[in-house]
Amino acid sequence: MDLKCEILNMRGKEVTIRLNDCVKMNSKIYDNTGKAIGKITRIFGPVSSAYGLVSVFPASGEVKELYVKCTGDTNGRGKAREEENR
């Protein structure tokens, strides 16, 4: 599932975004064509509405829209825990 990220600030090759529940450290960030253009290098702020710092790869050009691909469950329960409950 692709989710659009809200861009809050851009400074050089670093972009601050508002995070979704399914985003983790070092998650890849994509442009609107599906090409990987960066990764999340830092997560900060309150847990309920965290922010992320994205380092954009050098050859990415201008950043206008960012997307993240979510895998699995977005409520924090991973596959290992679901298998454990079976």
Does 58 map to a domain? yes
Flag whether 81 is in a domain. Answer: no
pLDDT digits (tens, 9 = 90+) for 14-62: 999 998 777 888 999 998 888 899 999 999 999 888 899 999 988 777 7
84 in any annotated domain = no
pTM of the full structure? 0.72
Residue 86 and residue 16: Cα distance in Å, rounded?
39
In-domain check, residue 11: yes
Residue 25 lies in a domain: yes
Our count of domains for the chain comes to 1
Q: What is the pLDDT of residue 29?
A: 92
Q: By residue range, what is the domain housing residue 12?
A: 2-72
E strands, the chain, in order: 2-11, 14-18, 28-30, 36-44, 51-56, 66-69
Q: Does some domain include residue 40?
A: yes
Q: What is the CATH number of the domain that holds 41?
A: 2.40.10.230
The answer to whether residue 83 is domain-embedded is no
d(CA 43, CA 51): 6
Identify whether 7 is part of a domain. yes
Under a CB-based contact definition with an 8 Å cutoff, are residues 14 and 54 in contact? yes
